[in-house]
Structure 1
Amino acid sequence: MRLEPRPELDAYRAQVRDFIATRSPGRRAHTGVRAPEPELMPAIRTWIAELYDADLLGQSWPVEHGGLPGDRTEFAFIVAEELARARAWGEIGAAGLASGALLAFGTQEQKAHFLPRIRSGEDLWCQLFSEPGAGSDLAGLSTRARRDGDHYVVDGQKVWTTNGHHADVGYLLARTDGSGVKQAGITAFALDMRTPGVDVRPLREITGTTDFNEVFLDSVRIPVDRVIGKVDDGWRVANTSLGHERSSVGARGVELIEQLDELIGLARETRVGAGPALADPATRARLGRTATRALVADLMGKVVQSRILGGTEDAADAPLAKVLYSEVNLEAAELGLALGGIGGIATEGDADVLAGGWWQDAWLYARAYTIAGGANEVLKTVVAERALGLPKDRR
């Protein structure tokens, strides 16, 4: 299947671009999947509600829950791309994952309670999956939940929880049965983050920001009616929800193309020797190599979009797109930092810092993309085993 421009899609893109330009609460100050500053949260909650009200989010939801009729996948791609192009805030946290889980496995009462609150921005969700000993190997999680009357009592620790300090609800995975294979015996919960025993501790990262958190769960009581899906079936719930939110597939390519344009502008402004960096042969060669890889990464995203629309997705599609994006993103950040010369060691707040410190922050954060969402080395193994059918690694 080929992605062809169509008048109705071009018109829709123009409408989305105009909506973002006139209504967005502002550009994100940093690259990556970051947490807003606390003072921005009221405006972002309002913005999320406006995006839902304008049918720019939740388009693929069932009509009875506020979605639109027909297949809206292409339109959702456009919204994600335009938010990325404008560096505007989109829906923060894990609401996309949580809504996927609720729509596929939630009870009618859960849907009636949580879905309107997601649409209004009243509830922001965080993802309580990863643990200190269970990151890329999520099935190895050890946080436990035991039944006690009409509640489950949860004890354990989660980490790398983006927006955990802003979240109202947590999409939690905990082990309810340890007697079988590790993928079995996991249950999904909707956890009120204000429940006694939930301790959210922000982690200060190398960027100087606190986007991640570690979350300690000490005898946290969750009502049984907050189990999402069936008990011990959380692995299936989680994997289904991870496949539900796919609209951001092409957005990463757009981010790379935008960075590429900024790199070219930076090369015109900065100097190497007696002239602009853009005239320096070595710089031009490096910029050309990065540009080629960025364009390939963008095209790979389009290929994945095409396969999603055509129903021909392959197990290698998402992992390979993520691996290439993360590597090119790191390469672009390194080049941006290098173009700053000795000024590249300056940072936000220093006098005459390059681009307000954008490239320094982008470089410090870029390595995280090679780990988040599955470490690149793990994803390459996934491609080898699940897509290419190669013999499994000895473990």
Structure 2
Amino acid sequence: MRLDSGPELERFRAEVRAFIAGNAPPARRRTGVRAPEPDELPALRAWIAQLYTAGYFGHAWPVEYGGRPDSRPEYGFIVAEELARVRAWGEIGAAPLAAGALITFGSDALKQRFLPRIRTAEHLWCQLFSEPGAGSDLAALSTRARRDGDHYVVTGQKVWTTNGHHADWGYLLARTSTEGKKQAGITAFAVDMRSPGIDVRPLREITGTSDFNEVFLEEVRIPADQVIGAVDDGWRVANASLAHERSGVGARGVELFGQLDELLAQAARPGLEGRAPLADNAVRQRVGRLAARVYVADRMSKAVQSRMINGTEDAADAPLAKVFYSDVNLELAETGVALQGVDGIGIEADAPWSGGWWQDAFLYARAYTIAGGANEVLKTIVAERALGLPR
């Protein structure tokens, strides 16, 4: 693992940390990839625009669209880590994905139309990929787009659309052909989320919040000039754009260490009987094992980060790091609730530890073992693509 932390990067980190401390809106109240409340959106749009203007978001974009001439791959990881360190809000929605697709495959007209509005946060984006029958197997999507003059007419259903109820635009994958391999007939589109025929329905989750949505598209007309890339080439567009969303990998360890520190601080405080949970030998052993797993998860994430930067990434790297991270994150949340004893059944402000933060984390943590590729699917990817085992 080779991660440069020389003077230049340390100066950049200090600059980013100071900027966040001086400008960030109130920290996120919940863990995970969550949607803000409607009343938070104006401040968060302004905050995202500040991060772009300062060159912390979009640093690797072409200079003519606002990228930094001195951009380095490490910058994205550093920004993600510093935001995670204080639970500051980052991007809302799928703007990095959409921007990656537009920069690599979009026409000049699409770049000029959308990229400046992503930078000002005038446009928030959502990712319209997953479907009820095509989650981990995205190539099985069935949403159809048929050409009708100078438009495509789209009908289908998407689900697990984070921030869909806030989004101005959607980065959509739809099937334009049924010939050949299923990956070959998919096309990428930019779709106005206020188009007639789009019905966004928030999903109320076990956490009590609505972060995901299901989106129904009924005869939605999309101008043909809003195709991103070539028709029937959406699978390549989507996979290439995912490379622009990977800076968060380096933040995983920061998130876990932050949760571990909070867990230790809470567990060291005396409870109702005047005795701290950490006074118990079994608790200390459990927390010690968990701390070791947090350290390993951080090293795995840093190794993936290093290989991305140095161009030596293996097919197993990111999947294994994600699987291990999601398991450790779940174990942290379970431990944070368990150490509260009977108080662990409290919710929100009724819970004595961190105002119910651990209860919310516990309810949400299982999602990380599914989102971004279910752990079982990722293990299969490692087996087939990295180890060469038969299907």
TM-score (norm 2): 0.98
2:26 corresponds to: 26
Structure 1 residue identity aligned to 2:312: T
**What is the CA-CA distance between 1:274 and the residue it aligns to?**
6.0
Q: Secondary structure at the match of 2:315?
A: coil
**What is the CA-CA distance between 1:216 and the residue it aligns to?**
0.3
Between 1:265-274 and 1:323-332, the stretch displaced more is: 265-274
**What is the CA-CA distance between 1:192 and the residue it aligns to?**
0.3
Q: Map 1:1-395 onto structure 2 (within 5 A).
A: 1-271=1-271, 275-350=275-350, 352-392=351-391
Task: Please give the alpha-carbon distance, in whole angstroms, between the structure 2 residues aligned to 1:206 and 1:220.
Answer: 31
Task: Please give the alpha-carbon distance, in whole angstroms, between the structure 2 residues aligned to 1:379 and 1:4.
Answer: 29
8 Å contact from structure 1 (residues 128, 170) kept in 2: yes
**What is the CA-CA distance between 1:341 and the residue it aligns to?**
1.0
8 Å contact from structure 1 (residues 320, 383) kept in 2: yes
Task: Please give the alpha-carbon distance, in whole angstroms, between the structure 2 residues aligned to 1:357 and 1:238.
Answer: 37
Task: Please give the alpha-carbon distance, in whole angstroms, between the structure 2 residues aligned to 1:243 and 1:20.
Answer: 25
Change (3 A) 1:48 1:274: closer
Between 1:359-368 and 1:59-68, the stretch displaced more is: 59-68
Structure 1 residue identity aligned to 2:79: V
Structure 2 residue identity aligned to 1:332: L
Q: Secondary structure at the match of 1:201?
A: strand
8 Å contact from structure 2 (residues 266, 353) kept in 1: no
Task: Please give the alpha-carbon distance, in whole angstroms, between the structure 1 residues aligned to 2:271 and 2:324.
Answer: 30
Structure 1 residue identity aligned to 2:246: R
Structure 2 residue identity aligned to 1:280: D
Per-residue CA deviations over 1:25-45 (Å, capped at 9, x if unaligned) read 110010000000000000000
Task: Please give the alpha-carbon distance, in whole angstroms, between the structure 1 residues aligned to 2:337 and 2:371.
Answer: 22
8 Å contact from structure 2 (residues 203, 211) kept in 1: yes
Structure 2 residue identity aligned to 1:42: P
Between 1:173-182 and 1:138-147, the stretch displaced more is: 173-182
**What is the CA-CA distance between 1:71 and the residue it aligns to?**
4.5
Percent identity of paired positions between Structure 1 and Structure 2 = 71
8 Å contact from structure 1 (residues 347, 353) kept in 2: no
Q: Secondary structure at the match of 1:17?
A: helix
Structure 2 residue identity aligned to 1:99: A
Per-residue CA deviations over 1:332-385 (Å, capped at 9, x if unaligned) read 0000001111111010143x5421110000000000000000000000000110
**What is the CA-CA distance between 1:211 and the residue it aligns to?**
0.3
Structure 2 residue identity aligned to 1:26: P
Task: Please give the alpha-carbon distance, in whole angstroms, between the structure 2 residues aligned to 1:71 and 1:15.
Answer: 15
8 Å contact from structure 2 (residues 337, 344) kept in 1: yes
Task: Please give the alpha-carbon distance, in whole angstroms, between the structure 1 residues aligned to 2:47 and 2:273.
Answer: 46
Between 1:72-81 and 1:326-335, the stretch displaced more is: 72-81
**What is the CA-CA distance between 1:75 and the residue it aligns to?**
1.4
TM-score (norm 1): 0.97
Change (3 A) 1:71 1:19: closer
Structure 2 residue identity aligned to 1:362: A
Task: Please give the alpha-carbon distance, in whole angstroms, between the structure 2 residues aligned to 1:157 and 1:340.
Answer: 42
Equivalent residues, number:
391
**What is the CA-CA distance between 1:279 and the residue it aligns to?**
1.8
Structure 1 residue identity aligned to 2:244: H
Q: Secondary structure at the match of 2:241?
A: helix
**What is the CA-CA distance between 1:150 and the residue it aligns to?**
0.3
Cα-Cα RMSD: 1.1
8 Å contact from structure 1 (residues 49, 119) kept in 2: yes
Which blocks of at least 5 consecutive residues in structure 2 are unaligned?
Answer: none
Task: Please give the alpha-carbon distance, in whole angstroms, between the structure 2 residues aligned to 1:204 and 1:237.
Answer: 31
Between 1:88-97 and 1:175-184, the stretch displaced more is: 175-184
Task: Please give the alpha-carbon distance, in whole angstroms, between the structure 2 residues aligned to 1:76 and 1:336.
Answer: 30
Per-residue CA deviations over 1:271-329 (Å, capped at 9, x if unaligned) read 49763111211100110111000010001111111111111011111111110110000
Structure 1 residue identity aligned to 2:372: G
Q: Secondary structure at the match of 1:269?
A: coil
Per-residue CA deviations over 1:222-273 (Å, capped at 9, x if unaligned) read 0000000000000000000012222111101110010110111011014497
Structure 2 residue identity aligned to 1:69: P
Between 1:135-144 and 1:245-254, the stretch displaced more is: 245-254
8 Å contact from structure 2 (residues 145, 154) kept in 1: yes
Task: Please give the alpha-carbon distance, in whole angstroms, between the structure 2 residues aligned to 1:52 and 1:111.
Answer: 16
Q: Secondary structure at the match of 1:325?
A: helix
8 Å contact from structure 1 (residues 272, 280) kept in 2: no
8 Å contact from structure 1 (residues 266, 339) kept in 2: no
